[in-house]
Structure 1
Amino acid sequence: MIRVLLVDDQALLRMGFRLVLEAEDDIEVVGEAGDGATAVDQVRALAPDVVLMDVRMPGVNGIEATGRIVAEQPATRILILTTFDLDEYAFAALRAGASGFLLKDARPPELIAAIRSVSSGDAVVSPRITRRMLELFAPQMPASGVVPEAADAVDPRLAELTPRELEVLLSIAHGSSNAEIAELLYLSEATVKTHVGRILAKLGVRDRVQAVVLAFETGLVGRGQA
């Protein structure tokens, strides 16, 4: 069972999420919280697998709560849900350690699939959020038209990556799945999965979302764009 904690300051929304999730055989809602501080306490007490976290709440907001939970309970994954399709919320939540970001208008099947993905250790960022992040950050970054060689990477955090791993990381940052990366780079999905694992290990990040954040922060995104 995937144990889920619901965090939102609107009780009706929590009820709606509970009804959707408890209809699934492999998901159990173990608790609820109406603010970030209570969410942190509930995670300590209940150790859920996944937290559905609202962003705007009274007192401790969802981004601050996410940072506290990730620091204290790294095994718990955070899936941010919000009505605010704004770049600063998306990027701040991901930098705080969230493993996914979805808007509240996502359909129930999308929400359920996202919970299963983050529970299994994968990451979820909606294509819309990825596009907005690209629109916001790419113009601020130098564009050479090619992926740099590892030795030429500006940020030392990228120095250990091979040229192929840089290509894979860039594709991840563009929101591509393993299957899409395999098709783009003429690799097998198994090979792509191996590359992804090595990238995460070399960068010292725990999932694909954190790799995406690092790709933006280091300026890698933008260089390989047409």
Structure 2
Amino acid sequence: MSSPERDPILRKITVMIVDDHPVWRRGLRSVLSDDEHLEVIAEGENGEQALELARELHPDVILLDVNLPHMNGLQIASRLKTERNSACVVMLTGYDDEEQALHALRAGCSAYCSKDIDPLLLIEVIQKVVQGYYMVKGEYYDLAGIRKWTNSRIEATTGPYTIDPHEHFVPLSPREMEILRYVTQGKTNKQIAEVLKISQQTVKNHVSSILTKLYVEDRTQAAIYAMRRGWVRIADTPNNHDNQDSTSDHHGRL
């Protein structure tokens, strides 16, 4: 949709960059620093830093990589939304995936962009989101428009559905994400229960919830789904090098 005219920006937009690759952060900072309307006030390399800096500095916009160690971009965006942080989150990702875009928007992001986005377009996106617009798949939407877009994508997979504007959506809870990391590592329910000191039935319940939320049929599909979208990285899974002899359990069922 075409955007109505807005008042000119009267002050610099403060921006925080969160990415675990220093070269990428420096390059992005350099690009944004060339624009007189933008000011990069902080950089973070992981979720914990992102949350701490967002609480302390209150940036207008957070440029957030989806694929981060320990806590992924969706979890960070959800946490910021829960805390009612006013920052507009622009998710930057190498995964040009409409379903991932849907997750990002429902987690609280204002825009979902490919990492190979043209620098001038990224600057435009930053300016638009602080004016209250949303951007996905190269199109801008107002609040009513993005709700319509989101509803239509959900209906395509789950049937008619209307989003409550006050709904807080978290793709996976922190505990489910923790269990998904272990599932991706190949641990069985029994092994996960022992590590987390919970019952096997509790683990089984969490795994069932994960499969339902991700619309997948088994553990292997859940692991592949998360890996492809950058939610979980094998290098970041707890005790990644333990239990290398347990590969025979990798395809264990619920």
Instruction: Give the aligned partner of residue 66 of structure 1.
Output: 77
CA distance in 1, matches of 2:163, 2:54: 35
CA distance in 2, matches of 1:95, 1:126: 15
User: Residue type of the partner of 2:91?
Assistant: I
Instruction: Give the aligned partner of residue 116 of structure 2.
Output: 105
**Pair 1:138 & 2:149 matched:** no
SS of the residue corresponding to residue 9 of structure 1 reads: coil
Instruction: Give the aligned partner of residue 22 of structure 1.
Output: 33
Deviates more, 1:133-142 or 1:66-75: 133-142
**Pair 1:5 & 2:16 matched:** yes
| Deviations 1:11-30 (CA, angstroms, capped at 9, x unpaired) | 11111110110000010000
SS of the residue corresponding to residue 36 of structure 2 reads: coil
Q: Which runs of 4+ in 1 moved over 3 A?
A: 133-137, 139-142, 154-157
Instruction: Give the aligned partner of residue 223 of structure 1.
Output: none
Q: CA RMSD in A?
A: 2.8
The residue correspondences of 1:165-204 to structure 2 (distance < 5 A) are 203-204=165-166
Q: Which segments of 5 or more consecutive residues in structure 1 lack a partner in the other structure?
A: 143-153, 158-202, 206-226
Instruction: Give the aligned partner of residue 95 of structure 2.
Output: 84
- Judging changes above 3 Å, is the alpha-carbon distance between structure 1 residues 3 and 138 closer, same or farther for their aligned structure 2 residues? same
- Judging changes above 3 Å, is the alpha-carbon distance between structure 1 residues 204 and 72 closer, same or farther for their aligned structure 2 residues? closer
CA distance in 2, matches of 1:156, 1:6: 30
Match of 2:65 among 32, 47, 54: 54
CA distance in 2, matches of 1:27, 1:140: 40
SS of the residue corresponding to residue 43 of structure 2 reads: strand
Match of 1:41 among 48, 52, 69: 52
Scaled by the length of structure 2, the TM-score of the pair is 0.52
SS of the residue corresponding to residue 138 of structure 1 reads: helix
Scaled by the length of structure 1, the TM-score of the pair is 0.58
- Judging changes above 3 Å, is the alpha-carbon distance between structure 1 residues 134 and 73 closer, same or farther for their aligned structure 2 residues? closer
SS of the residue corresponding to residue 66 of structure 1 reads: helix
Instruction: Give the aligned partner of residue 124 of structure 1.
Output: 135
- Judging changes above 3 Å, is the alpha-carbon distance between structure 1 residues 67 and 136 closer, same or farther for their aligned structure 2 residues? closer
Question: Deviation of residue 135 (structure 1)?
Answer: 7.6
- Judging changes above 3 Å, is the alpha-carbon distance between structure 1 residues 103 and 44 closer, same or farther for their aligned structure 2 residues? same
Equivalent pairs: percent with the same residue? 34
SS of the residue corresponding to residue 113 of structure 1 reads: helix
Matched-pair contact (CA < 8 Å) for 1:44–1:73: no
SS of the residue corresponding to residue 29 of structure 2 reads: helix
